Structure 1
Amino acid sequence: MSAHNEETPKLIGDELTEGVSTVLEAGTDAAGQRLDQWLAGQLGPDMSRSRVQMLIRQGAVKIGGKPVDETKRKMAAGDRVSVDMPEPEPASPQGEAITLDVLHEDNELIVINKPAGLVVHPGAGNWTGTLVNALIHHCGDSLSGIGGVRRPGIVHRLDKETSGVMVVAKTDRAHKSLSEAFADHGLTGDLERAYLALVWGIPTRPTGKVDAPLGRAADRVRRAVVPAGRDDARHAITHFTVLERFGEQQQEFATASMVECRLETGRTHQIRVHMAHIGHPVVGDPDYGQAFRTKANRLPEPLKGEVKAFPRQALHARLLAFRHPTTHLSLRFEAPLPRDMEALVEGFRKL
């Protein structure tokens, strides 16, 4: 491969420069390779194939001066490929001055303690007031163009009413690295996630594993345990440890437990569905704990009223550990129980 300049230098170190043109010449080893595959390999480890494919579809990639829109086009030796890196566009969501509990921030990423009630990403019914809006305002010009758009890189999510630790990428490089770590659920890296859940009942074993595939439920929003052979079935494993038992010696009261859940996979609503599947839904869960709502009637006051008034699932992302995408240092972040969940747990402790 040889590289040439067009008007503006195209490479700085190992990184593409936004807003300028890069020209690459294919060698004999490129013959027969897919354009997107070859180009992703030439542009460095920070350029994902998905982003290369997006650039091709946008007409930013040319061969012999002519735009190419076919990502699978076969390369030929001697092809001169130019890539026009677009300037990052303004993010569609607008920045909003929403207070964030920042646990760590550097040039590549930001770690926050998300409060319950905060939606992560704008969407139907929640176009403003989200974590993304808050991050755009907070990070400002420190956000690089992720996928050609100046926005925070969401690599994992917490449900609106789940609190706790989240990491968000600020650069394409960090986004790619963290996305890969979450995609393989830490099997080849140092990713570690632990949640605290207040659940109904007391599991018969102090530790256990729920290995049950998840798929869409009938309403398309919720998830459910489904047969492994179903088309939408996704492998899902949750490990749990009982940390505290409440009301165990007082059979006239509803019992509950504080459980730590560790994810071996990361599916939508995984902990909530898995705990309900084994008969211990999360207290306050409006989607998977409805059948247990009457259990609150067996509690003494004032706990009975507190449980009925609790507005969300009692689930908190306590721990997140991962390897930094550029320094490669192991980072570990913890967030204590939020006040509302701590107060609820204290009520159960009095049983």
Structure 2
Amino acid sequence: MSDEILFQKIVRNDAQRLDSFLARFLGEVLPGASRSGIATAIKAGLVSVNKKAVLKPSHKLKINDEVLVKKSRISSENSRIPNENSRISNELFEKIKIIYEDGDILVISKPSGLVVHEASSLKGESTLVDFLKQSNRQLATLGGEFRAGIVHRLDRYTSGVMVVAKSDFASAELSSQLQQKTASRIYIALCDLPLKQNCV
């Protein structure tokens, strides 16, 4: 595996996330590099800060930090889809539908197969949170970067409507409604055998 340098830059502004910094500047040498592709490269150990590998996309940079990206396993062809899991996730991104949006909330239709947010069991897969970040929308920060804008979730293989908070006010209000059960949710399931009793 070659350790040839693809990108090297000194940080000139304080208080930036590593993935945001790379999303802004990496396009100079790698057009089309996506936020999820950058996150995958970071987690794969291809990015170093001051000659030390950094594995967290959310790593905070400081003025005069030196950011270096190895050329290994990154090319303009695969930057958007670094592996098979990411390719599948990007296909799922195309199935996400925006149902409603205003300044506080975003209502989307999540396809089956798409994970809502990162988990230790995932191996470089893109998530709904990645999609939201790539869209450059303002997202609520009450749940942290890990769950940016996410107030509730749907299981991976459950499709359906989700409400995403764009403001911290909306995040707090939606969380309160879910806790107090003033917001209702309806699930529809398909059975391959009849139920023993006719019930609701």
TM-score normalised by length of structure 1 = 0.29
Larger fraction in strand: 1
Q: Which has the larger radius of gyration?
A: 1
TM-score normalised by length of structure 2 = 0.49
